[in-house]
Amino acid sequence: MIWVALVGLALLFIGVPVAFALGLAGLVGVWIANIPFSIVTTRLFTGVDSFIFLAVPFYILAAEIMNQGGITSRLITLARNGTRWLPGGTAYANVGTSVMFAGISGSAVADAAALGRVFMAEMPKEGYTKPYAAAVTAASSVIGPIIPPSGLAILLAAVSGLSVLDLFLAGVIPGLLIGAACCAVVAIDSFRGKVPRSRPEVRGGERWRMLIEAIAVITLPVIIVAGMVLGAYTATEGGGIAVAYAIFLSIVVFRQLDMKGLWRAFASAARISATIYLLVAAATVLSYALNLLGIASWVREAAILFENQPLAFLFAIAMLMLILGTFLDIGAAILIFIPLILPATYALGIDPLQMSMVVMVTLAIGLITPPVGVVLFVMIRVGNISMFPLMRALLPFLVAQLVAVGLLCLVPEFSTWLPSILNP
């Protein structure tokens, strides 16, 4: 088992794509276990043979269509004008836009790339330093994979047996909690006079138009979740409705998407979906190999150390996922480790929704922690800045978000209250 882990880590560190690194490590495990390689083809297929996975391409396509349809600029403008009267208003707008954008993209990397291009160009003009602008954008991008509709929640549901709707609902408060943590840092910096005040001028009629447009956009996740709560459709059917709604908004309402843009959205969604399915298939092979080599028994033995200490177990899982998130794709980490830690979660009496949110949030935070946090490199490229100034500006946001993770561990209701109310 150690050799499998070493092979996988070595391949990742030399730059082999994550899916191929996981698949090759799984092949090594199958070879060590003396199992015929023919079983690998079966495992590759069964890994993606899940009805829940049909929802993933729909949500990705809906996000790509809305991105091509000029949605991002409308959300940014609305957020900036809603916070223009505050010191550090544009920093608050950055966080607020990430919260709204999370309901569309469901991706931290997409959030950082799309919003980073705008805020990294505008915030320095108002007096913010480039590292601070990059830090706010990177920290708030963590919200992307948490607030529904979330592709990660769908992956987690597929491997855990939990309800997609429950995971969607469970992600709302943790996502807002991470946003509140970012806003708290901005508020402290504002009180200390470290951030400027911004006052974008917008006429009354223009403001109302932007408000209506933004409400039309953020209605998308509401439609998806509300329909699932009412039992009108499944997560997969909700994804199809999201695509239809995104096309309607982008072509009919906003009139900023032509057939070429629609084709680009379909092509991009196809590439991203294929990447995810390849990752799922490869992670399934690795998970199978690790189980053959006895990792499940190792996890059970480790869980005995936390007998009658569920809180210590949650904090240990949070620390493990924070480390894994720095160098392992979030989806791969969920596919490999969730099936392993779920039995211990149930045995210790921890609500699986609470554990799921702790895992999702800490893995997302891992995207902005060195040495190989993916979002860090996106911001370095988009903002044309170096790592050290970015990390120095990002440190207070990281501390605030880790405090939020601590609250998720201490207060299960942050994760379980909404599902218990809306989907009892």
**Alpha-carbon span 118 to 85, nearest angstrom:** 20
Domain boundaries, position 383: 2-422
What is the average pLDDT across 231-258?
83
Provide mean pLDDT across the span 323-345: 82
Task: Answer whether residue 161 shows pLDDT above 70.
Answer: yes
Kindly state the average pLDDT of the residues 321-346. 83
- C-beta of residue 306 within 8 angstroms of C-beta of residue 316: yes
Could you count the other beta carbons within 10 Å of the beta carbon of residue 35?
A: 14
Asked if 4 and 293 touch (Cβ cutoff 8 Å), the reply is: yes
Give the pLDDT band (50/70/90) at residue 404: very high
Summarised one tens digit per residue, pLDDT across range 8-65 is 777 777 777 777 888 888 888 888 888 887 778 887 787 777 777 788 888 888 878 8
The residue that leads in pLDDT, 300 or 400, is 400
At residue 314, what are phi and psi to the nearest 5 degrees?
Answer: -60, -45
pLDDT at residue 400 tops 80:
yes
* Contact call for residues 334 and 159 (beta carbons, < 8 A): yes
Phi, psi angles (nearest 5°) of residue 197: -95, 140
Backbone angles phi, psi at 87, to 5 degrees: -60, 135
Q: How many domains does the chain have?
A: 1
333: its two tokens = 């980490």
DSSP character at residue 87: B
- Tell me the pLDDT band of 195, cut-offs 50, 70 and 90: confident
Calculate the alpha carbon distances from 302 to 173, 298, 317, 331 in Å: 31, 6, 12, 23
Overall residue count recorded for the chain in this entry: 424
Percent of the chain topping pLDDT 90: 20
Of the listed ranges 66-75, 130-139, 389-398, the one predicted with least confidence:
66-75
pLDDT (tens digit per residue) in 31-43: 888 888 777 888 7
| pLDDT band for position 174 (cuts 50, 70, 90) | very high
Across the chain, mean pLDDT equals: 82
